Amino acid sequence: MTFVTQWLEKLIDPFAPANGTPPKSLIPFARWSLSGSEKAIALALCAVSFAGMVELTSAAFAGWVVDRAANAVPGAYWDQFAPLIIFGLVFYMIVRPIALTVDAATTSVVMGPHLFPLIISRLNRYALGHSMRYFENDFAGRISQKCMQTARSLTDIVIETVDVVIFSFMMFIGALILMGGIDGRLLIGFAVWGLLYGCALWYFIPRVMQKSKARAGARTVVTGQLVDTLSNIATVKLFAHNSFEDRAALDALGTFRDRALEFGYLSAGFRMVLMTLGGILPVMSILGSLYLWSIGQATVGDITVTAMIGSRLSMLTNRLGFTAISIFSSIGEVEDGMQTLAKTHEVVDRPDAATMLDAHGPIEFDRVGFSYGSDITAIQGLDLTIRQGEKLAVVGASGAGKSTFVSLLLRLYDVEQGRILINGADIRDVTQEALRRQISVVRQETAMFNRSALDNIRYGKPDATIEEVIEAAKLAAADDFIADLRDGRGRTGYDAYLGERGVKLSGGQRQRIALARAILKDAPILILDEATSALDSEVEAEIQTSLDHVMEGKTVIAIAHRLSTIARMDRIIVMEKGRIAEIGTHSELLAKQGIYAGFWARQSGGFLGAE
């Protein structure tokens, strides 16, 4: 038994990657999502088909019993009914239980627990490969909801199609065979009924799918609205806009209610039609068999068989109606999800991209141009060589192109003109992961996971020991406040969870965690994007020595405005409208009395332009 269960559990590898990108049409998308599960689905089809035949055998057996009883005489129980007794015992105590158990197991053991993780792991893996632009143009909560919705709906489609549609189809095929065996004229009623049923499906199916897709889209808008509000709850409260956000949510919910009502009315009409057709079927089959019996061309057992089959098919038709609504609404939700999830990746690795990069060399921007795919140029004609081990500061007014400069180096976007080289290698000739493994980043807007402080720091080096993590935290002046952390579940210190996006920490604490993460990663290239902007002067002074230690021997690019950071750099570039307007050391740029000198003068008065 253990061998059988293990074999069943291994029919689908729920975490197997898919080949290529998800197609943008339904059937190919389903194939992409479900590839690798074909054997399991085939087994389920065989099991449910056999179960359908078994159920029809029950009806046929009842007819045999009635006919044998009608022709029997009192007494001689075993002699007259021995074949029926033996068949009944074997069939109902062995064959039928095994058939129905296998049928149930294919759903509850093989498909149910495996198809959903198979699909969602593939959708999540593909979503992770999108460029930053994809995530900037959508809500994270909406994207995750689309993944869940699509995976759940496609899983439901497969299971319900196998469990109900295929089972019903086999029952109908078997019923036709049994009815034809009694008298071919009984099939005329089935043909008429089938035509009516087909017309009902032809009318309702596209409408159900359309309404379901509209309902799914409206539900997604609600999710996006709620996620947007709750993600910015501090701003909502500071501006006293609870009522405003409540009204926006109610507007989205009102639209969802309208779409849901449209779907509900159509569903109710569809079910009414199918249930009416389901009621016609047993009436036609019973009346037909009674007529044949009245003219001596059918037995009492034949009436029993047709009555049981007709009643069973009527119940199946009603169930099929409910299932059809569910399947076609799920199809609408899958199609809605595909519009978001099956978009082509903007930044992709080349087929022959190297998986290793030696970043111990110069960084070269060779006539780089970039405009975010619009008419507004963010970077134009940028030529710059950053020597290995050089400390470069990047300054400029808001919108000058500083963040774009860093994003292109990290290949969060692909350059539109020119190229970027690291140690002579075009960054597009290596995988994105290989590139980013060689770069540590501390950003102004630090990202924290709702995980422990230990896990957040260890993100820089997943195999780091606890001692290495603590040492990095000490260098970043984070060890003291981490020791005092306590979360809502009583976890303390490095085990305490930081809350969603690090909400339980101050801005300075988040930046020190991020700095510890970068220290632990110890990559040859270090990017500091206002890495000390949220620190007070005392803490900044405390970690400045650590920063000097961390920067030693590394190529450093610092987007920074504070005197303490800028003045210590080997060179400074001043960006304006996507170009390098000035370049030189701190002293050289002051002597020019240009843009940088103006920034310096404003900083000395307490302000330096920020991006």
Q: What is the pLDDT of residue 254?
A: 93
Q: What are phi and psi of 452, to 5 degrees?
A: -70, 160
Q: How far apart are CA 312 and CA 440, in angstroms?
A: 66
Which tokens go with 138?
């959508």
Identify the top-confidence range among 187-191, 268-272, 478-482: 478-482
Is residue 219 a contact partner of residue 337, using CB atoms and an 8 Å limit?
A: no
The type of residue at 305 is V
Q: What's the CA gap between 606 and 611, in Å, rounded? A: 16
CA-based radius of gyration for the chain: 35
pLDDT band at 501 (very low <50, low <70, confident <90, very high): low
Give the pLDDT band of residue 50 (cuts 50, 70, 90). Answer: confident
Summary mean pLDDT of the chain: 83
Taking residues 438-455, report their average pLDDT. Answer: 84
Burial of residue 547 (CB within 10 Å: 0-12, 13-18, 19+) is buried
Q: For residue 91, what pLDDT band results from cuts at 50, 70 and 90?
A: confident
The average pLDDT across 113-141 equals 86
- Residue 557's SS3 state is strand
Considering only residues 503 and 362, tell me which one the structure prediction assigns the higher pLDDT.
362
Q: Check if the beta carbon of residue 268 is closer than 8 Å to that of residue 27.
A: no
Asked if residue 386 has pLDDT above 90, the reply is yes
Instruction: Point out which residues pair with 369 in neighbouring strands.
Output: 417
> Which residues fall within 8 angstroms of residue 239, CB to CB, at 6 or more apart?
none
Predicted local distance difference test score (pLDDT) of residue 454: 93
Walk across the sheet containing 579-584 and list its strands: 439-442, 525-529, 555-559, 391-396, 571-576, 579-584
pLDDT of residue 448: 80
Using the Cα atoms of residue 53, residue 56, residue 61 and residue 64 in order, give the sign of their dihedral. Answer: negative
What is the distance between the alpha carbons of residues 535 and 506, in angstroms, rounded to a whole number? 10
Q: Are 330 and 216 in contact (CB under 8 A)?
A: no
Q: Is the pLDDT of residue 611 over 60?
A: no
Q: Do 435 and 357 contact (CB within 8 A), yes or no?
A: yes
From 76-80, 91-95, 246-250, 542-546, the region with the lowest mean pLDDT: 542-546
- What are the Cα distances from residue 25, in Å, to 30, 207, 212? 9, 18, 17
**Tokens 């978001």 belong to which residue?**
340
Joined tokens for residue 71:
């022709």
Q: How far is C-alpha 343 from the chain's CA centre?
A: 13
Quick check: helix, strand or coil at residue 310? Answer: helix
What is the pLDDT at residue 2? 66
Which tokens is 425 given?
Answer: 């290698």
Q: Which of 171-185, 241-255, 406-420, 475-489 has the lowest mean pLDDT?
A: 171-185
What's the pTM? Answer: 0.75
Q: HSE on the CB side for 345, CA within 13 Å?
A: 17
What residues form DSSP beta bridges with 391? 556
Measured CA distances, 443 to 136, 411, 503, 515 (Å): 16, 16, 16, 9
Q: Which CATH number fits domain 9-341: 1.20.120.1200, 3.40.1180.10, 1.10.3720.10, 1.20.1560.10?
A: 1.20.1560.10
Tens digit of each residue's pLDDT (9 = 90 or more) over 292-342? 788 877 777 777 877 777 777 777 777 777 787 788 778 888 888 888 888
Q: What is the C-alpha to C-alpha distance for residues 477 and 455, in angstroms, rounded to an integer?
A: 17
Task: Render 260-279 in DSSP notation, one character per residue.
Answer: HHHHHHHHHHHHHHHHHHHH
Q: What's 363-438+555-578+592-611's CATH class? A: alpha beta
CA atoms within 13 A on the CB side of 220: 25
Separation in Å, CA 153 to CA 166, 336, 506: 18, 11, 41
| Structural domain boundaries in the chain | 9-341, 363-438+555-578+592-611
Q: Measured between alpha carbons, how far is 537 from 524 in angstroms, rounded to an integer?
A: 27
Contact 528, 519 (CB under 8 A): no
Distances (CA, A) of 138 to 85, 228, 284: 67, 10, 55
Measured over the CA atoms of residue 282, residue 285, residue 291 and residue 296, the dihedral's sign is negative
- State the CB neighbour count (10 A cutoff) for residue 21: 14
Half-sphere exposure of 309 (CA within 13 A, CB side): 35
Where does the pLDDT of residue 605 fall: very low under 50, low under 70, confident under 90, or very high at 90 and above?
low
